[in-house]
Chain A
């Protein structure tokens, strides 16, 4: 019970902080049940590709699930299944050290830092932590093919209007 309260309180705090100060082009908000009530523990968010990269002109959707042990444990952030990136598992789960409780996750890490960290990861994949074969293989061996696929994906999530 105590854990759950702590989680909700921290999420409320994050929400407030996010509203006050979030990076341009990003969005993050709790999902809604059919009666209009908010599900604070499950959010949807969007991460824009950095300008002047092959990820630009698109906002990539993610879901954020805050586990009961949050902030002791990190939120689970996922792109849609099949998202093309060397560090994203086929299920969409992101392989990033700040999202891993055994690695660099710290309870003090804010939602804003996580979102910016994921945005950074988009254009600077870590080939040392491959999470899916197609994108990793193309990134390592065939950059032209890799970039073509990334641009195609950007069109799928295009947000220019």
Chain B
């Protein structure tokens, strides 16, 4: 057998590499005989398996018939009755034998004379024992049945050609009945066994694969498959309750339902789900919950509640929202389900915010628990907070919104203040920090991120005109201008408490990140709101931070925040205040900034943002502009990709000045035309372009193209003069001069800054560096 196995491997390769062909019929028929007659059939079966795996075409028609009669005959049946490794091997042999011609097998389903063969395959699939733990045959068959199902969906045309007249109809109706049988087998197989020690992961994947199989079967059996499962849940509830049956059904309902949407759902599926929720199922699950013990039933039910979004978006489903949410609130009290329950709550609230206002009091209780409990996962806390906020946002009346928000903001402020006051959190990021300190800082950061989640949830989901009437917009703006409950100042107090008072928190990256999120959540809002602050307040915060920071860790975040302020409020900002701010956050710190590429990059992005939104904020301040330009020229020497990308952004925004007014254009043109700026920029771009790595070439190329496009009259001179200077420098260093640059200059001029310039620059770069473009 070993020898034959070797020949099979050899012949398969030889056939692939040459025109020679081998006939193994007699040897394979002999092997089949040995397999059927020997008491130990394993070696012969292994050889056949190898053959089918390596090259199934070695089995000619008569050999196939011989093997088929064995598999589906009495020899095959013996493998159904006892568990052994041979049975696994036999199942694999069956699958590999049938797989190459699976579409023909599908056609055979129409013919009643083949029923016994299909029954045999079903019995093999339903091999006794717990999957994974005791048997692996059903697992082997999952993929096979998926392929089989695909034939009915993907190969429909082929099936129609191969099956004529009534037979086709018969085939379709038999296929539906057949897959119902397959589904029944796997339904019982995925029941959670009592003992699963050591096989948890494998069994979980097995169930997931069965879920995939159900998804594949669904287009064939359609809603009866779904309704069968629902009926199963209802029957279990009405009769002797079998929780494991319910769990298995719900698991598969979740798998099938994941592809449903409100557009493709049928009304009987809506009815069916309604029936489950009309029963006391959710209360039953709640009663079953045991603290500190994970239960699949609870987990699967939470998944069920969260995957039927198409149901609660329907008119029928809306009425069940309170009971579903109350169930989820109950599960939130157990840590094992908090992550998934909070995700479910967040999904539901996102979709149905306007229908959930009646539940705000229940939410309030949950929020208080989540915020007070140290052990709750930060992600859970944030999700619930976000859900709470999105429902509050759905309340149109600003004073009701304010009342709910004030309570939660006050709670966050009180708690964070107490924790900061009573804990030593200085140096919390140092290696010497204790676990307790780290946990405290994590908790504090989570309180802050809860505040930012509140801000995110309060953002309008649509444009203000879609949500409010004009008179309502006025009322909202007026309310938040007056802010009778002082919510703005409470939020600012929390921010202040975190970012100014305690050195352990003030320089903390995570804390600053959350504060930036809090401010940013209001920046894009078009009407007043709890997180919409006057730009001067945010700028004041940024400036104050720069005055007090001990390290530069958070500089990029603050520059990013200032960029966002500029984007949102550039119309109401003035040159003087921007100049003053830039002086403090940039010029006064330029020596520190120049030591760190991350900070350089974020500064360049900030400057690029000003130039791309309202250039006059920078261009009208000529002193500041000169310093900025010197910085921009100096950084061209950088080899950091992110810095170069930001440099390209900065320089192209300056050169093209698309948002500039007439005065801005005059100033910038004068700088390029009448000072050395044009030459200096060209010289430095060229100098560092020639020595940069190829992947960074694009950044320099874009700047050069910009110069050629905007200053065509002068750029030729700048280029020629730059090459002269570069060559002199090279000579001084004992390097070879760059020849043929005049051709490059001409080509660049002809390109006029168009895309053609990319190739010109690339070819020249390759030439100068002695490289070939492969």
Contacts and interface: CB of A to CB of B under 8 A. Distances in A.
Interface of A: 19-20, 24-25, 27, 29, 32, 34-38, 130, 133, 137-138, 141-142, 144-145, 148, 152, 155-156, 158-161
Given A27-B212, A36-B218, A161-B296, A144 B429 contact: yes
Closest 4 CB pairs of A and B: A36-B219, A19-B143, A34-B264, A161-B299
Contacts of A24: 201-202, 205
A34 B263 CA distance: 9
B459 to A, nearest CB: 16
B376 to A, nearest CB: 12
Interface in B189-237: 201-202, 204-205, 208-209, 212, 215, 218-220
A37 B259 CA distance: 12
Contact of B378 (A34, A137, A152): A152
Interface size class of B (residues with CB under 8 A): 35 or more
Contacts of A138: 509
Interface stretch (B17-25, B147-155, B401-409): B147-155
A3 to B, nearest CB: 20
A32 B149 CA distance: 14
A32 B294 contact: no
B379 A25 contact: no
Which secondary structure characterizes the binding site on chain B? helix
Given A19-B147, A25-B201, A142-B553, A38 B153 contact: yes
Given A29-B212, A34-B263, A145-B509, A158 B339 contact: yes
Given A32-B215, A34-B264, A145 B510 contact: yes
Contacts of B641: 130
A137 B150 contact: no
Contact of A27 (B201, B208, B294, B378): B208
A144 B150 CA distance: 48
A22 B220 CA distance: 26
A145 B429 CA distance: 9
A37 B153 contact: yes
B150 A38 contact: yes
Interface in B338-353: 339
Contacts of A20: 143
A35 B260 CA distance: 10
B642 interface: yes
Most A Cβ at <10 Å: residue of B259, B377, B601: B259
7 contacts: A27-B208, A32-B215, A38-B150, A38-B153, A133-B556, A141-B598, A152-B379
A161 B339 CA distance: 12
A137 B208 contact: no
Contacts of B553: 141-142
B143 A142 contact: no
Nearest to B200: A160
A25 B205 CA distance: 6
Contact of B153 (A36, A130, A152, A160): A36
B146 interface: yes
Contacts of A152: 378-379
Contacts of B202: 24
A25 B377 CA distance: 25
A152 B339 CA distance: 11
B66 interface: no
Contact of A37 (B204, B219, B339): B219
B219 A35 contact: yes
A6 to B, nearest CB: 18
A20 B154 CA distance: 19
B146 to A, nearest CB: 7
